[in-house]
Amino acid sequence: MTKNTRVKPVEDDGMDENLVMEYLKQNPDCLQNHPEILSRMTLPHESGSAVSLVERQIKVLRDKNLHLKNQLTELIHIARENEELSQRFHRLSLELMAGEHLHDVIAMTHDQIGTFFYTDYVGFCFDDTLAGKLKGLEKTVLDADNKHAGKLKKWMKARKPVFGPFDPGLKKLLTGEQGQLTSFVLIPLYHTSDFGFLVLGSKSRDRFVDGMGTVFLTQLGELVSSKLKLYLA
């Protein structure tokens, strides 16, 4: 019959070191079977006051092991986030495909992005030239006489995400009375012509900040634009 060499949890309170030593003597293959214990132990090498090469090598390897472990943990976290993001895009795509009317597409975009992309505010700012195609959605149409209209049209032509913060007047034009919002991004919507912007806002100052990656935001705009073109192009 072979001995059971499984290491039992060691409690600090009242634990006699002699018992541990006796156990190791009786189970000499314990540390060999559990190398992870060695990686957490400090084993000084007799070399007087100087640090031996063996000790230095062990420390370097231990630090490198910890660094690689942290990197692996981060990569796993990113992979899980990307998988979840892919599922959200898939769900949004299915919902948009099911929409048969412009009002349905607008409503689905509001609901899906707000729910699955954890956004506090979702809105639209359409170019005023599309007013005739947006019956019942007049509140989403840009007022051409507004002093901020020229700036917004310039951003539309650039076709790149635009991050806040915005001055109070522009913020009110884009989101209405949403004073609790502190960060924003305007995602361009276009096909052969400019449709306008998908407006996202958050109560968190760090949610949408200039300098963050825009690949996801651009893809989101392209996805919504591909459906809007059926009604606005």
The series of mean pLDDT values per 10 residues for the chain, 233 residues long, is 48 70 81 68 57 71 86 85 78 83 91 86 95 93 93 95 91 84 94 95 91 89 94 90
Phi, psi torsion values for 135, nearest 5 degrees = -60, 130
pLDDT given for residue 1 in this prediction: 45
Question: Contact, 131 vs 141, CB < 8 A?
Answer: yes
pTM: 0.67
* Residues in CB range of 127: below 8 A, 6 or more apart: 141, 142, 153, 156, 194, 195, 196
Within 8 A by CB and 6+ apart from 41, the residues are none
- Give pLDDT, residue 75: 87
| CATH 3.30.450.40 domain locations along the chain | 101-232
Q: How far apart are CA 131 and CA 126, in angstroms?
A: 8
pLDDT value, residue 89: 79
For domain 101-232, the CATH architecture is 2-Layer Sandwich (3.30)
Question: Residue 96: left if φ>0, alpha if ψ -120 to 50, beta else—which one?
Answer: alpha
Q: Where are the alpha helices (DSSP H) in the chain?
A: 17-26, 30-33, 35-38, 53-98, 102-116, 149-158, 168-175, 215-232
Spatial CA neighbour of 130 closest among 216, 211, 189, 59: 189
Question: What's residue 225's pLDDT?
Answer: 95
Answer left, alpha or beta for residue 123, where phi above 0 means left and psi between -120 and 50 means alpha.
beta
Give residue 137's pLDDT.
93
Instruction: Note the pLDDT of residue 133.
Output: 94
d(CA 189, CA 229): 9
